[in-house]
A and B are shown apart, each in its own frame.
Chain A
């Protein structure tokens, strides 16, 4: 792509008028500045969120992460229950979405079905990502929560002695939030796993079939190991999305700021906490909310950078 610049410099640069040169140069600089500004926006976001959370950081320090109180009356804020909710709801989502997404990726990348059917199925799986978060939330309240009731009750009745199922199914809570998140991150995991499975060189397939492996032996002992890092990258990207997803979760998780280990009880995530309280908060509470946002920002940043790094390494090979 650099040849454009070089060529034009070589051809008729001397013959150009001054204004033309100026226009050309200012166009170049405009695009360059805007491109750098895209990266600048990322730093700006980090800076702005960090700046606004300074009072809360000074007040609570790292204690903020280990305190379970969210008490506007006593001006005491800690983000532990929401951090627990964020991690556990995302973990439930991964638990459900990884096997399903991987199965989709396998069916859609191998030759089980004719290509035309695979293309339309791929499109349908991708459509899951196009449905707005808030619509999943609305659907979650009126369809998913009642639907999960017998399942939640069954878990409590049979495994109630495990702290994870210690409470009765309350309706809104971690379980429906995890299921909604699973639906929302499934297309990312499926798409990236599919791409990395499809990128495995065909020689490996032929070799495996050649020594007498069945299709599934090939998939499990050759294709998945070869595409493993790409699949992990896709899962990490899905995790990043699940950690930051807000509206669908806010509508179904119950928004309780009390720490409960049970996935059947109402809970909260950092993102939902922001969605619920940010507009009405002021003073130290607002600053604490910015601090909670900063924590979420840093976590998703780390997860996303790791995912990007893994996927980028796979692309080279």
Chain B
């Protein structure tokens, strides 16, 4: 092979690196294996989502009929029935929670983003984050201690109070973030034409941030509608139509919880159907919220 040609000798000593992709060198093989593994794990992560939604649809669709939305909750061994009282109860409890948490949360966020000096705001934001990490069952026993023990009755109000506390950090955080995104020039313009702080916030800044706040509120409501733990000993449950806000009321989530492990087939089917309704509502709300958010950013 020895040649005298200088170019051939050079090529022998320093072979041109192959530019095509080889899958057999350790570098690329390991890389490829890791890529495959990562995608497999991503698949593993998404599998439960499809399995849960798939099973809820298949098992819930059996009972998806008119009676489900109008019928009253069946007791053990009673055939038929529906979840109408639980739908109404969920609306009542979530409505109470929304009525408490939105004004409270949005005004608190106004202080954080508009009026506060850094130090206090930092501490309150910290407390808000910690509050969102408090387990929902702890919020449940807290609401029991505060409302049920003082009024001596399980009630929709107690349930709404518990859900309001779970919604509060979400509302504060999203409203705070949305208000901070409102351009400073708008505030200056408002103040420049002679508006007071009160007028500026209420007629200029809040309306400008309304879209983003509404998104956060929708997500908070969706979260609250699915919560069970804080309701099982505040709003409790009943088989009957809600008779008032100071009485125990049935809710969709507690209905599913109560009927999940019973040996009666009819109640099990009702639980699956209620799950379908709940999941559909929540998916709809989160898709809607994200869609609105993606269209109304500054």
Interface, chain A (partner B; CB < 8 A): 1-5, 7-8, 11-12, 16, 20, 23-24, 27-28, 30-32, 34-39, 41-42, 44-45, 48-49, 51-52, 99-101, 103-104, 106-108, 112, 121, 123-125, 127-128, 130-139, 141-143, 183, 186, 190, 214-216, 237, 240-241, 243-247, 251, 271, 274-275, 278-279, 289-290, 293, 296-297, 300-301, 303-305, 307-308
Bound-state Cα–Cα, A243 to B134, Å: 10
CB within 8 Å of A: which of B187-243? 187-188, 191-192, 194-198, 200-201, 222-223, 225-229, 232-233, 236
B79 at the interface (CB under 8 A from A): no
B244 at the interface (CB under 8 A from A): no
Bound-state Cα–Cα, A237 to B132, Å: 11
Judging by beta carbons under 8 Å apart, are B130 and A304 in contact?
yes
Residue tally, chain B, CB below 8 Å to A: 99
Least CB distance from B180 to A in Å reads 7
Minimal Cβ-Cβ distance residue in B for A309: B126
Bound-state Cα–Cα, A139 to B57, Å: 11
Residues from chain A with a CB closer than 8 A to the CB of B1 are none
Given A35-B111, A35-B124: A106 and B194 interface contact (C-beta under 8 Å): no
Least CB distance from B225 to A in Å reads 8
Judging by beta carbons under 8 Å apart, are A104 and B229 in contact?
no
Judging by beta carbons under 8 Å apart, are A1 and B52 in contact?
no
Judging by beta carbons under 8 Å apart, are A237 and B133 in contact?
yes
Given A138-B260, A139-B55, A251-B260: A246 and B137 interface contact (C-beta under 8 Å): yes
Among all A-B residue pairs, the 3 with the closest Cβ atoms: A244-B135, A132-B226, A103-B41
Least CB distance from A302 to B in Å reads 10
B77 at the interface (CB under 8 A from A): no
B249 at the interface (CB under 8 A from A): no
CB within 8 Å of A: which of B128-181? 128-131, 133-142, 144-146, 165, 168-169, 172, 180
Residues from chain B with a CB closer than 8 A to the CB of A293 are 137-138, 141
Max chain A Cβ within 10 angstroms of own Cβ: one of B53, B55, B137, B223: B137
B127 at the interface (CB under 8 A from A): yes
Residues from chain B with a CB closer than 8 A to the CB of A124 are 46, 49
Judging by beta carbons under 8 Å apart, are A35 and B116 in contact?
yes
Judging by beta carbons under 8 Å apart, are A103 and B38 in contact?
yes
Judging by beta carbons under 8 Å apart, are A100 and B30 in contact?
no
B68 at the interface (CB under 8 A from A): no
Not counting A12-B194, A44-B146, a sample of 13 additional A-B residue pairs whose C-beta atoms are within 8 angstroms of each other reads A23-B198, A107-B38, A134-B260, A139-B55, A141-B261, A214-B27, A215-B31, A245-B135, A246-B135, A247-B229, A278-B232, A297-B134, A308-B126
Max chain A Cβ within 10 angstroms of own Cβ: one of B48, B121, B168: B48
Residues from chain A with a CB closer than 8 A to the CB of B198 are 23-24, 27
Bound-state Cα–Cα, A106 to B126, Å: 28
Residues from chain A with a CB closer than 8 A to the CB of B188 are 3, 7
Minimal Cβ-Cβ distance residue in A for B141: A293
Bound-state Cα–Cα, A103 to B45, Å: 9
B112 at the interface (CB under 8 A from A): yes
Bound-state Cα–Cα, A222 to B261, Å: 49
Least CB distance from B44 to A in Å reads 6
Least CB distance from B255 to A in Å reads 9
Bound-state Cα–Cα, A11 to B197, Å: 12
Residues from chain A with a CB closer than 8 A to the CB of B38 are 103, 106-107, 112
Max chain A Cβ within 10 angstroms of own Cβ: one of B138, B256, B272: B138
Residues from chain B with a CB closer than 8 A to the CB of A303 are 133
| A to B CB contacts below 8 Å, 18 in the list | A31-B114, A31-B115, A35-B124, A38-B172, A44-B142, A100-B44, A124-B46, A127-B286, A131-B49, A132-B278, A132-B279, A133-B227, A133-B228, A142-B59, A247-B228, A271-B137, A279-B232, A296-B137
Judging by beta carbons under 8 Å apart, are A190 and B34 in contact?
no
Judging by beta carbons under 8 Å apart, are B141 and A274 in contact?
yes
Minimal Cβ-Cβ distance residue in A for B184: A3
Judging by beta carbons under 8 Å apart, are B257 and A137 in contact?
yes
Contact of A138 among B30, B229, B256 (CB under 8 A): B256
Residues from chain B with a CB closer than 8 A to the CB of A36 are 120, 124
Residues from chain B with a CB closer than 8 A to the CB of A11 are 191-192, 194
Q: Mark B256-277, 1 if CB is under 8 A from A, else 0.
A: 1100110000000001100100
Residues from chain B with a CB closer than 8 A to the CB of A2 are 115, 117
Minimal Cβ-Cβ distance residue in B for A136: B52
Judging by beta carbons under 8 Å apart, are B253 and A134 in contact?
yes
Bound-state Cα–Cα, A308 to B117, Å: 21
Least CB distance from B249 to A in Å reads 15
Judging by beta carbons under 8 Å apart, are B197 and A34 in contact?
no
Residues from chain A with a CB closer than 8 A to the CB of B53 are 131
Least CB distance from A46 to B in Å reads 9
B35 at the interface (CB under 8 A from A): yes
Minimal Cβ-Cβ distance residue in A for B194: A12
